[in-house]
Amino acid sequence: MASILDVRNILKTHRKQKAGDVFDLARRLANNESFDPEDILAAVTASGVTDDELADLVDMVRRRVELRARAATAQAAEKELAQARDGIRRQREALDEAERRYRRAVEPLLEQEARAEERVREATIASSALLSNTNLPTVFVERVEQAKQQLHDASRAVQEIEDTIRRQTERAETAAERLEGDGGFDRRNGQYLDPDRRQTLTLEQIELVEAVRGGRHQAAEATKKLEQAQAVHATAMAALQDAERQAREF
């Protein structure tokens, strides 16, 4: 008769032999193969593993499948990496060569640019010197100064008219906005124009209506003057240019 120790050894050896069956079962389960639950139960019972241990083993097999698949891409990934790095190296070499060609081409142009800038500066100084009081007869100096003053006056006139248009437009718009919440300008203006109904307006309403009417009127009148002032400005500009031209040509 076998001893208890012999029985334990026999069971231990049997379980080790069945462990290989459980691993195979786990691999097949991880591969989503179908099994009779009784077969799974028999394999688990024979190997001595628990249900949780089998589930963990299946998860481990699946992870190993994923890791193995990922590891199998190493050679292709290394090849792709080498190709990318080689492409970067070649592009870097091409860029370095292009930069060398650029420097060789641009160096003489930079020198040419510096010389041209100096000539432009000298020409500008000379052009200004042609209009200097010390280099012109008094009649030319007076003519240029008079033309400058006329242009200054014309510019100031244009600016003043533009300021008037802006102020009066803002005045009319502000008053009209305030009337929007009080019946609107058209309604209050109709009352304002009717002597019998004007007395129904408050002092503030009258002031707002008059601000809209006066602002719009003065802006319109100033706009008419602006065109003439701009024409005077253009004439003054042309006169100055002609005076400076004659002075330079002297």
At residue 45, the pLDDT reads 63
Kindly tell me if the per-residue pLDDT of 9 is higher than 50: no
**Which among 39, 44, 45 has a CA at the least distance from the CA of 23?**
44
The residues spanned by each domain of the chain are 4-72, 136-249
Cα 80 from chain centre = 35
Alpha-carbon distance 190 to 213, whole Å? Answer: 12
CB-CB contact of 238 with 154 (8 Å): no
pLDDT of residue 48: 65
Q: What is the pLDDT of residues 129-171, one digit of tens each?
A: 888 888 889 999 999 999 999 999 999 999 999 999 999 999 9
Contact 201, 209 (CB under 8 A): yes
Inter-residue contact 223 to 106 (CB < 8 Å): no
Q: pLDDT digit string (tens) for 205-215?
A: 999 999 999 99
CB 153 within 8 A of CB 240: no
pLDDT exceeds cutoff 90 at 30: no
Quote the CA–CA distance of 162 and 160 in Å, as a whole number: 5
How many whole angstroms separate alpha carbon 65 and alpha carbon 168?
83
Report the chain's C-alpha Rg in angstroms: 49
With contact defined as beta carbons under 8 Å apart, do 68 and 40 qualify?
A: no
pLDDT value, residue 47: 64
Alpha helices in 72-137 (DSSP H): 74-130
Residue 7: the pLDDT is 39
Residue 5: its pLDDT value, please?
42
Choice among 30-34, 110-114, 117-121 with the minimum mean pLDDT: 30-34
The arithmetic mean of pLDDT across residues 47-60, rounded, is: 76
**Mean pLDDT for the stretch of residues 171-183:** 92
- What's the rounded mean pLDDT across residues 109-133? 92
Asked if 44 contacts 54 with a C-beta cutoff of 8 angstroms, the reply is yes
Report in angstroms the alpha-carbon separations of 201 from 38, 158, 175, 179, 196.
101, 38, 15, 12, 11
Q: Which pLDDT belongs to residue 228?
A: 95
Evaluate if residue 224 carries a pLDDT over 70: yes
Distance, in Å, from the CA atom of 197 to the CA atom of 21, rounded to the nearest integer, reads 109
**Residue 36 pLDDT level (bands cut at 50, 70, 90):** low
- Angle, nearest 10°, between helix axes 203-249 and 74-130? 70
- CB environment 100-112: b (16+ within 10 A), e (fewer): eeeeeeeeeeeee
Q: Is pLDDT larger for residue 80 or for residue 44? A: 80
**Tens digit of each residue's pLDDT (9 = 90 or more) over 182-194:** 889 999 999 999 9
